[in-house]
Amino acid sequence: MSNRLYLDANATTPPFPEVREAVLQVLGEEWGNPSSLHTEGRKARARLEAAREEVAALLGVAASQLIFTSGGTEAINTFLKGWVLSQTSLPVRIFRTRGEHPAVENTLEFLASRGWAEISFLPTDRYGRVMVEELREFLIRTSIPYQPTLLSVIAAHNETGTLQPVREIAEIAHSLGMVLFLDAVQWVGKVPLHLSHSGADGAAISAHKFGGPKGVGALWVRPGVITQGLLHGGPQERRRRGGTENLPGIVGMGVAARIVARELPQWSEEWKAAASLLEQEEAQSEGGFTLLRVPPPRLPQTFLFRIGDWPADVILARLDLEGVAVSFGSACSSGVARTSQVLLRLGFSTADAQRLLRISFPPRFNPKVIREFLQIVHRLEQEPVHEGALC
């Protein structure tokens, strides 16, 4: 694996060596139950709370406002279902973008199927960005007075890299008495985020997207926003999530958060240098390697590209054989060669959606490896187009 070129950080990031070390140390030495009162338990509790402080510091929130979860999906489910179930009058109204991740989309579909929520789409452009100029008018026209209303917005898009104008959306939502929830899973570790200042009322994050372990994430809820917990059991996580905590994972997440806080400015420079190599290449390529220009603001390490008319699944397989990992669609549909449903829903043509692939640079990235990637792309450009297996 070591010689491979991993360009799929939005699916997952390789855990930092410091994270691996901390996880192993907790598994080997500090395996106590954080709820126990003896020395082992107290040591474990101290590690748990130290990790919460690290994550909270990265997000600009108080540690008491965070609960640890099993990842982004659980944090999203907890906020959305918990908020709906804490309302006295149902159904609620939920506005979402067309580009939501399946973790949000399928949670909302479930709530709608029970008759607990009415779901509508926010006005967005073809890259999934909420059109704030139209938002106030749109919400006034389409919402129902006194109906509890929530906006669920993917803060940083996993496929297009679009960043939302979070502050503007929050201002409009609050002026109309609405709540704003952010799926911030792809934002953290790529662009600085200060949740307390963002105006949002809740946000989900996931450790494996920023160098932490898989299967651990966190939910932030602004004080005063009422959401019920989903996992009933012991009093862990301030009675909002029962169950003994995943201490190795949480400690690993804390270490990753500390590394992000320290190193993000350096990574941003590395990503900028790598991006400029891609752009130079495109300028010289004659219709072969093409980047999709997603307007800023966007993630600095996420790019959509195509190679001539090659189907995306064929390129993915060819690059994989050459030792390069890229992707298309969201990671949840991996193993299944499918056109990106999200791009289609955003309004991309079928031809584009079938040809676009994504590269997403990981942290601690050496921009020079992009030259190797481009050499491989050159070789592919010379080959005749093969038919893909797209459905």
Q: Which is nearer to ligand PLP, 213 or 311 (CB)?
A: 213
**Distance of closest approach, residue 137 Cβ to ligand PLP, in angstroms:** 28
Q: Which is nearer to ligand PLP, 149 or 330 (CB)?
A: 330
**Distance of closest approach, residue 217 Cβ to ligand PLP, in angstroms:** 5
So which residues are the catalytic ones? Answer: 332
Neighbouring C-beta atoms of residue 72, cutoff 10 Å: 26
Q: Which is nearer to ligand PLP, 15 or 217 (CB)?
A: 217
Q: Is the dihedral of CA 166, 171, 173, 174 positive or negative?
A: positive
**Distance of closest approach, residue 384 Cβ to ligand PLP, in angstroms:** 34
Q: Which is nearer to ligand PLP, 72 or 300 (CB)?
A: 72
Residue 29 burial (C-beta neighbours within 10 Å; 0-12, 13-18, 19+): exposed
Q: Which is nearer to ligand PLP, 217 or 229 (CB)?
A: 217
**Distance of closest approach, residue 47 Cβ to ligand PLP, in angstroms:** 21
Which residue lies nearest ligand PLP, judged by its C-beta? 72
Element (H, E) at 277: helix 247-284
Q: Which residues bind ligand PLP (CB under 6 A)?
A: 71-73, 101, 103, 154, 158, 183, 185-186, 206, 217, 330-331
- Token pair, residue 326, equals 């890229």
Using DSSP bridges, classify how beta strands 117-121 and 66-69 pair: parallel, antiparallel or unpaired: unpaired
* Contact criterion met (CB below 8 Å) for 123 and 135: yes
Q: Which is nearer to ligand PLP, 73 or 339 (CB)?
A: 73
Query: Dihedrals φ, ψ of 310, to 5°?
Result: -65, 135
Q: Which of 5, 8, 1 is CA-nearest to residue 329?
A: 8
Please state, in angstroms and rounded to a whole number, the distance separating the CA atoms of residues 384 and 371.
Answer: 22
> How large is the angle between the packed helices 166-175 and 132-142, nearest 10 degrees?
30
Query: Dihedrals φ, ψ of 85, to 5°?
Result: -70, -15
β-sheet bridge partners, residue 179 = 150
- Token pair, residue 91, equals 């159904």
Q: Which of 108, 119, 99, 151 is CA-nearest to residue 294?
A: 99
